[in-house]
Each structure stands twice: as C-alpha cells, then as structure tokens.
C-alpha cells in the first residue's frame, strides 16, 4: 500500500464529502438545474435558455406530470427539452421488477414503433451518401421480391400495399408459431406463399410493420453489415447514443429490461420478438433527445432530404392525419404541423414528439402498459400554437 505523505486532512475530508454527496444524488428527479445534464446536452441551435424561461415551463409540466402520474406511479422516463437543453426530466418505477432495479436515465426500454423513425433516418442517410435511391425498386435490392412497383419510398411512407406480417403468419398453413420468425423468413413467405398485395402500390396509405422489416434488410444489403451494427455505425455512434441498441433475440433476452402488463405481470417472449426495423430498438429519453437534435441538425444530412421526411404523402382524402418518411404528422388547415411517432409492443409504450420550429423535444417511455404515455402531446401548446389542452384525454 502506498502511503500519502504531508496530507492536508481538512482538504481530504472536504473532497470525501463532495464525492459521497455526488454519489448519492437521486436520478429519479433530474432537471436543467443539474450541471451534469447541462454539460451532456448543449444546444446545437438557438440561444441558451434563461432560468426565468425554464422555471416558467417547469411549473405547468410538473403539474401535468403529477396529475397523470401521482405518487411517482409512472414506470419509465419522461423528458422535455428545448434547444437541446433539458427543461424537465423524471424517472420512476422499476426497470426490472424481479431484480428490483430502479428506473434511471440510463435504463434502456423497448421503444416499439418509434424504432421506425430511426430506421427511416438510417435509410435517408444512405440516400444522402448516394448508396441508395428513394425511387429505387426493391426488386433491385432483394432477389425474388414479388412486387415490382414497390420502391424504397413506398416502404418508408407505408404506401407499398404489402400486408402486415403479423396478419398472415398467424395462420398455420403459412407459419408455425412455435418457430421464431426472422426478417428473412418474411421475404421467403412473401415469395413462396403468394401473399397478394392489400392494394395497388402507391394508391393509398396503410400502416404496415412489414415495410420496415424489409427496410432493415435493405440497410443490411447496402451496408454489408447486420442491422444492429449498421444502426450503430450510421445513427447511434455518430449521435452519441451510448445507451441505445438493437435487441438481439438470441443474446439479449436475459439482459434486456422486460415489459409488463398494467398489473405488473410479465409479458413473455413470442414468435414475433426477433423482427427488427419496425421495432426492437431499446433506448432512453436522453438518447432520443440526442437523436432528435442530431438528426435535425443541418450537418447530419442534406436539409432538402430531411425536409422530405416531414412531408405528408397520403393526400387521396382530405384530412389532417398524414405520414411522411418514418414520421406521423397532423396537418391543420391553419398551416400548423405537429410531428410525432408513437409506439406499442407488448407492455412497452412510447411517444416521441419533435417540434422543429420551436426546437422542442418531448419524450415518454414506459415498460409497464399505459396509454398515458401518449398524453404528453398535450404539453405542445406550452411552446407553440398547437390545438391541444393540458387536460385533454
């Protein structure tokens, strides 16, 4: 053992006190007053928020949180940020009930269909790098693909006409549900089982998980990497998303945070749990904030390409609900637009809201089933002209 000579005892005690004080900080209630949070998130656009501005928003957000999740009843994470700076942040409940593992800012939860936003971002990045074309026929990328008019873009905006894999693989003559379904199996079934299109390609919108399972295979084809590594290379690592990963059914079942029903009973794995691209990304509110700020930054890919993601492609019938390239949206006649994506898989529910004009990000994740996750859209009027109300159902 090395002895420390000429030690200043009062200074040593002070350092010890500071160390233990920091170590004991409660991660369940973090806000912009926490210096470590300020350092982690620096605004890429917009001015630094004033203390007065932050406090003016924190009060109504806190009231919203306490009303919807009284007594810390939320089982997940919740974050509101502007200019990349966190205004409000909460973590509550258990990431893993069996192990009594508390929910923290680094607890990665299954974000369900919010995964589609990230898959779409990876595809757009490959388009930006001229490795892929939006109007490229899928037949040029996947051998034997049976639908000649389907393009990369019609997969992204759910106008392909392809049927949802969960609706045809539940039939015994199509698939044995005792076997785990993989992405490549979906392609094989589309080719060999004569699965007809639901409608003619690019004539209307129909939200379909199969589209994004196929996009994941296209990412693998173009990059020469498996989807997990490709997402890490294209999206997660460049944007500093250190707690985000793609679930590997064979390797992560024992370590991934589980999902629960509303009564906290466990959801067990089923035959659809190995499909990726449409789901199966695990992330945190902080990493989703990094994603939002990074993806929307002008340097990530060309602004004109990003703009295409925020354009509605389904206009056959007049209405306010629409879908872009991996992005849900509401387009009001006033010209105001609301951009978001929700997710639901087993007991996991997720909501990702991005307000580009106001540079606001709102995130809510839960691994214990609740629809309250989706109510966070009601916070949008705090930042812009959005026709929601804090107490809307």
Please write the tens of the pLDDT for every residue from 116-158. 999 999 999 999 999 999 999 999 999 999 999 999 999 999 9
pLDDT at residue number 2: 37
Q: Please tell me the pTM assigned to this model.
A: 0.89
Identify whether 1 is part of a domain. Answer: no
Give the residues across from 347 on adjacent strands: none
Provide the number of structural domains found in the chain: 1
Do 108 and 266 contact (CB within 8 A), yes or no? no
Identify whether 302 is part of a domain. Answer: yes
Half-sphere exposure of 166 (CA within 13 A, CB side): 14
Confidence check: pLDDT of 276 > 90: yes
Confidence of residue 317 (pLDDT cuts 50, 70, 90): confident
Structural domain for 186, as ranges: 27-100+108-382
Confidence of residue 391 (pLDDT cuts 50, 70, 90): confident
- Give the residue with greater pLDDT, 44 vs 169: 169
Distance CA 295, CA 238 (A): 10
Identify whether 9 is part of a domain. Answer: no
Identify whether 20 is part of a domain. Answer: no
pLDDT at residue number 46: 63
pLDDT at residue number 43: 37
Identify whether 330 is part of a domain. Answer: yes
Lowest mean pLDDT among 34-43, 85-94, 175-184, 372-381: 34-43
CATH of residue 256's domain is 3.40.710.10
Identify whether 22 is part of a domain. Answer: no
Identify whether 14 is part of a domain. Answer: no
Confidence of residue 44 (pLDDT cuts 50, 70, 90): low
Confidence check: pLDDT of 15 > 80: no
pLDDT at residue number 20: 40
Give percent above pLDDT 70 in the chain. Answer: 88
Q: Of the candidates 315, 116, 103, which has an alpha carbon nearest to the alpha carbon of residue 203?
A: 315
pLDDT at residue number 318: 86
Identify whether 13 is part of a domain. Answer: no
Confidence check: pLDDT of 235 > 80: yes
Give percent above pLDDT 90 in the chain. Answer: 84
- The token pair that represents 298 in the structure block: 């002008």
């Amino acid at each position: 053992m090395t002895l420390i000579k000429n030690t200043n005892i009062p200074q040593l005690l002070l350092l010890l006190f500071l160390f233990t004080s920091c170590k004991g900080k409660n991660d369940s209630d973090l806000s912009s007053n926490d210096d470590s949070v300020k350092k982690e998130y620096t605004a890429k656009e917009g001015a630094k928020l004033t203390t007065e501005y932050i406090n003016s928003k924190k009060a109504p957000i806190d009231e919203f949180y306490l009303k919807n999740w009284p007594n810390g009843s939320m089982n997940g994470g919740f974050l509101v940020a502007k200019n990349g700076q966190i205004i409000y942040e909460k973590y509550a409940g258990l990431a893993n009930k069996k192990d009594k593992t508390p929910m923290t800012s680094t607890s990665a939860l299954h974000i369900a269909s919010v995964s589609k936003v990230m898959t779409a971002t990876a595809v757009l990045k490959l388009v930006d790098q001229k490795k892929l074309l939006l109007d490229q026929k899928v037949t040029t990328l996947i051998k034997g693909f049976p639908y000649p008019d389907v393009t990369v873009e019609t997969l992204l905006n759910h106008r392909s006409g392809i049927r949802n894999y969960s609706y045809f693989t539940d039939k015994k003559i199509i698939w044995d549900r005792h076997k785990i379904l993989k992405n490549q199996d979906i392609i094989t079934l589309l080719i060999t089982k004569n699965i007809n299109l639901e409608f003619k390609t690019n004539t209307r919108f129909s939200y379909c998980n199969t589209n994004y399972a196929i996009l994941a295979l296209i990412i693998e084809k173009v990059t020469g990497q498996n989807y997990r590594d490709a997402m890490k290379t294209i999206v997660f690592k460049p944007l500093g998303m250190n707690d985000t990963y793609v679930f590997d059914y064979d390797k992560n079942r024992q370590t991934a945070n589980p999902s629960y029903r509303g009564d906290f009973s466990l959801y067990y794995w089923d035959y659809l749990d190995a499909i990726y691209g449409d789901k199966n990304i695990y992330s945190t509110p902080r990493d989703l904030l990094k994603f939002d700020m990074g993806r929307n930054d002008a340097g990530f890919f060309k602004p004109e390409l990003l703009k295409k993601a925020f354009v509605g492609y389904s206009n056959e019938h007049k209405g306010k609900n629409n879908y872009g390239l991996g992005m849900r949206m509401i387009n009001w006649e006033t010209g105001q637009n609301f951009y978001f994506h929700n997710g639901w898989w087993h007991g996991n529910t997720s909501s990702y809201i991005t307000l580009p004009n106001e540079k606001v990000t709102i995130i809510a994740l839960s691994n214990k089933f609740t629809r309250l996750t989706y109510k966070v859209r009601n916070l949008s009027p705090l930042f812009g002209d959005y026709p929601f109300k804090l107490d809307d159902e």
